[in-house]
Amino acid sequence: MNARKLALLSLPLAFIPIACEGPAGDAEEREARIMASAYPEGAALYERQCRACHQSDGQGLAGTFPPLAGHAPELVQAEGGREYFIRVILWGLGGEIEIRGERYGGVMPGFARLSDENVAAIINHSIHAWGGEDALPQDFQSIKPEEVSELREPRMTPRQVRETRPEF
């Protein structure tokens, strides 16, 4: 069985898109199913690697773990934001950051053990999920595994990653 089939089989049932007549449930549930079908590997990886801190709705935990919903699309459009987001996933993040006036001080571990494809999939899921697709320009290019590969060297500490955070 190939990795793609295995990833699809490991998705929670709530993420499997279904066809039905009439209302498909609440909007958040429906959007989650749509995004999982568009980025199934990223959705499955997010569930396993990111959900505990950033929550299933991407809202994070106040004061500790920042939201990805709404913020991820803004971040990747800022100058240096794509590279920063990749480095955060690879090397982690240490030090306080501020998003929309709220400060977050949690520490994020790095996930350099994940493949370039998996890192790109998690980031693409985070960018496009929770209404993020609407915040992106029409010509937006998803993160490619080659971009991740290029940023594996030099290795960085979580604090060094924090110092590269773009201002916007």
Residue 65: which CATH number? 1.10.760.10
Q: Provide the token pair at 70.
A: 């709404």
pTM over the 0.85 mark: no
Helix/strand/coil percent split, the chain, to 5: 50, 5, 45
pLDDT(148) > 60: yes
Whether 168 maps to a domain, the answer reads no
Domain span at residue 109 reads 3-163
Q: How confident is the model at residue 167 (pLDDT cuts 50, 70, 90)?
A: confident
Single out the residue of 98, 139, 110 nearest to residue 50, CA to CA.
Answer: 110
pLDDT(121) > 60: yes
Distance CA 36, CA 87 (A): 24
Mind listing the pLDDT tens digit for each residue in 66-81? Answer: 999 999 999 999 999 9
Distance CA 16, CA 144 (A): 24
Q: How confident is the model at residue 5 (pLDDT cuts 50, 70, 90)?
A: very low
Domain count, the chain: 1
Whether 127 maps to a domain, the answer reads yes
- The DSSP code for 130 is T
Distance CA 136, CA 155 (A): 30
pLDDT for 32: 55
Distance CA 77, CA 10 (A): 31
Residue found by looking up tokens 């993040």 in the block: 93
Strands (E) in the chain, as ranges, are 97-99, 102-104
Q: What are phi and psi of 6, to 5 degrees?
A: -65, -40
> What is the average pLDDT score of the chain?
84
Whether 83 maps to a domain, the answer reads yes
Whether 61 maps to a domain, the answer reads yes
Whether 85 maps to a domain, the answer reads yes
pLDDT(99) > 70: yes
Whether 19 maps to a domain, the answer reads yes
